[in-house]
Structure 1
Amino acid sequence: MTLFLLVLLAALVFEYINGFHDTANAIATVVSTKVLTPRQAIVWATFWNLFGALMGTAVASTIGKGLVDTNYVSMATVLAALLSAIVWGLFTWWLGLPSSSSHALVGGLCGAAMGSASGNWAVLKWSTGLWPKIVLPMMASPLLGFIGGALIMLVLTALLHKTTPRLVALIFGKAQLVSAGFMGYSHGSNDAQKTMGIIALALFTGTQSGAFAGLPDWAGFLHTPEFVVHKWVMYTCALTMAAGTAAGGWRIIRTMGHKMVKLQPVHGFAAETTAAIVIHGATTLGIPVSTTHVISTSIMGVGATKRLSAVKWGLVGKIVWAWVLTLPVTGLLGYGVVTLLHKFGI
């Protein structure tokens, strides 16, 4: 029971970090275009993140039972996965790089599961889970974000070429409130579910191993003989992510909202709308896509329509390296941490 409480604490810490680490996903564009002040944008994003987090559990199911063989998962496995993701999230936040909290969690879980299975690759559900739900979307979603952002921006440019800049700014200053809300909603609906899945996996593992045996009747809500995401897990994760979002991740907001490309309200609208559509589609399919990758490439695609030199490609290169390294680094961390935990008899 003590180990489960540590897992639950680590999961909520990860969810909180995910909230302030990925705040930039929802508000960087609306802040950079000065449609909302940073504080106003955070309140707006927090509300929609909370609302979105309560919508469905398809992504949670993918994380909890679709990626690794649960027969090799213990409380130590889940704890190692979470600790790995927390370390990577804090490290990239400190560097101001918008890395993927989703892929950090997936990498940590896969590495920890392999460590628990003594390096057996068969523990990974490659053909039914990792390839179609993680690796393929990891490659496709940034492309969809970049191409979609560019196309929407080109269409808007064609439609508005006779409209005065002042009127365009006025219209899309209002429209961006809607697109920012949609982005916050889609981010909450996808990202919050990942931690829900991890907690549900821990509850299922604890029930199977007998960790909750002998608990008083009031603790019956912990028993999970079949993998399911309980309502209390949904509400806890949603509120924790909302709290993290409210804290704000200013380092990453500056990177995405000010350093990558200079945006006007119409550009922000195009980027947010593109990203929100891609993320919402992934959530509907139960795919834990990286919201960071999608919004970042949507901003790049929108910026590239102005001129290729408008995007600061040197900074983009650093961001992409963080993306590439996330899965292998957290996988190695997860493997190492779970091996260490096992050596201490955990």
Structure 2
Amino acid sequence: MDATFVALIIIVLVALAFDYTNGFHDAANAIAVAVSTKALTPRVALALAAVMNLVGALLSTEVAKTVGAGIIDPPEGSDGLQIVFAALIGAIVWNLITWWFGLPSSSSHALIGGLVGAAVAAAHTVQWMGVLDKVIIPMVVSPLVGFGLGYLFMLAILWTFHSANVTRANRGFRYAQIVSSATMALGHGLQDAQKTMGIITLALVTAGEIDSFDVPLWVVLSAALALSAGTYAGGFRIMRTLGRRIIQLTPAGGFSAQTVASGVMVTTATVFAVPVSTTHITTTSIMGVGATRRLSAVRWGVAGSIVIAWVVTLPAAGLVAALAYVLTHSIIG
């Protein structure tokens, strides 16, 4: 067994570990609102999210191709595998830091930041136009879309049910949230599992194990299962932030936020094939729904700390990845 193959196995295992941390880091995106409105218990919500993550991950590989082939030029040989390894280390470290502090940052952007940081440290070619078109612009636009649609959708719900019996309507929206939570988890699987698929496939191309960027079935299945397992492990620290600290949502508000967020995630994955942040979209959809009461109903201080984590994620994960590359390269050569 040669050194390149051993390195490839290590990278695959580290990538699946990242996928697992992505699951428990971002599990809250799909279920925090349903749990906070008591539509679902935490464990039932996590089980539902895990199953739907698995289903979503099996539906498409378009985002995987964007991440694996549209951010940096596919590297070659041992140095290329070091770049991929360092990118994963940067993403995992940043995921764990933000998870510890309960901040819903973006695992997607941590991974992309890691790729860019490691490539820059290795003096490897970064597709900067690809980063702009596929990462930066969607990173700015998708949260704004989530906020705007969340606000408008909630207004429509309020107008439609303004004369309904409140108790009966809340009961109905709690049932509806089961469906919207499942759709959220489906969108999460469509988006986030594919990023790990892209990284593993990039490593396979780099090591010369495959000739073209076509995601193998075993990569799809392993990434889907790792994300699903991580989701079931839970993300209770971040769940509290999304479910209660930004704003206390009603069942109607929870349904509105989840419906909008899942719609944006599924559309960006299937129509545009861009790796957007499920965290960004979920959070801003909640803010948009909350703003229909009054702007002061949203705890903007909490929202501000979340936005800071968003802005810092790309460069922070990139810096950690760059340091990881320098350290790895100095050891291996």
TM-score, normalisation: structure 1: 0.93
Cα distance, 1:149 vs. partner?
A: 0.4
Asked if the contact 2:74/2:205 (under 8 Å) is kept, the reply is no
**Aligned counterpart, 1:124:** 126
Among 222, 234, 237, the alignment partner of 1:251 is 237
CA distance in 1, matches of 2:86, 2:138: 25
SS at match of 1:70: coil
SS at match of 1:263: coil
Question: CA offsets per residue over residues 102-122 of structure 1, 9 Å max, x none?
Answer: 0000000011111122xx6xx
**Aligned counterpart, 1:114:** 120
The CA RMSD measured in Å over matched residues stands at 1.0
CA distance in 2, matches of 1:6, 1:66: 23
**Aligned counterpart, 1:210:** none
Equivalent position amino acid for 1:40 in 2: V
Among 56, 74, 77, the alignment partner of 2:60 is 56
Q: Which structure 2 residues correspond to residues 1-346 of structure 1 after superposition, within 5 A?
A: 1-71=5-75, 74-117=80-123, 123-127=125-129, 129-207=130-208, 223-284=209-270, 285-346=272-333
Asked if the contact 2:265/2:276 (under 8 Å) is kept, the reply is yes
Question: CA offsets per residue over residues 242-288 of structure 1, 9 Å max, x none?
Answer: 00000001100011111110011110110000001111111011100
- Paired residues in the alignment total 326
Cα distance, 1:343 vs. partner?
A: 1.1
CA distance in 1, matches of 2:236, 2:39: 17
CA distance in 1, matches of 2:266, 2:195: 15
CA distance in 2, matches of 1:32, 1:170: 14
Cα distance, 1:19 vs. partner?
A: 0.2
CA distance in 2, matches of 1:74, 1:282: 29
Equivalent position amino acid for 2:236 in 1: W
**Aligned counterpart, 1:220:** none
TM-score, normalisation: structure 2: 0.96
Structure 1 runs (4+) deviating above 4 angstroms are: none
SS at match of 2:332: coil
| Greater shift in the superposed pair: 252-261 or 194-203 | 252-261
Equivalent position amino acid for 2:331 in 1: F
| Greater shift in the superposed pair: 232-241 or 158-167 | 158-167
CA distance in 2, matches of 1:261, 1:124: 39
Cα distance, 1:8 vs. partner?
A: 1.1
Question: CA offsets per residue over residues 21-49 of structure 1, 9 Å max, x none?
Answer: 00000000100000111011111111111
Structure 2: runs of 5 or more not aligned: none
Cα distance, 1:311 vs. partner?
A: 1.0
SS at match of 2:156: helix
Cα distance, 1:156 vs. partner?
A: 0.6
Question: CA offsets per residue over residues 87-129 of structure 1, 9 Å max, x none?
Answer: 0000000000000000000000011111122xx6xx12122x1
CA distance in 2, matches of 1:224, 1:16: 25
Equivalent position amino acid for 1:281 in 2: T
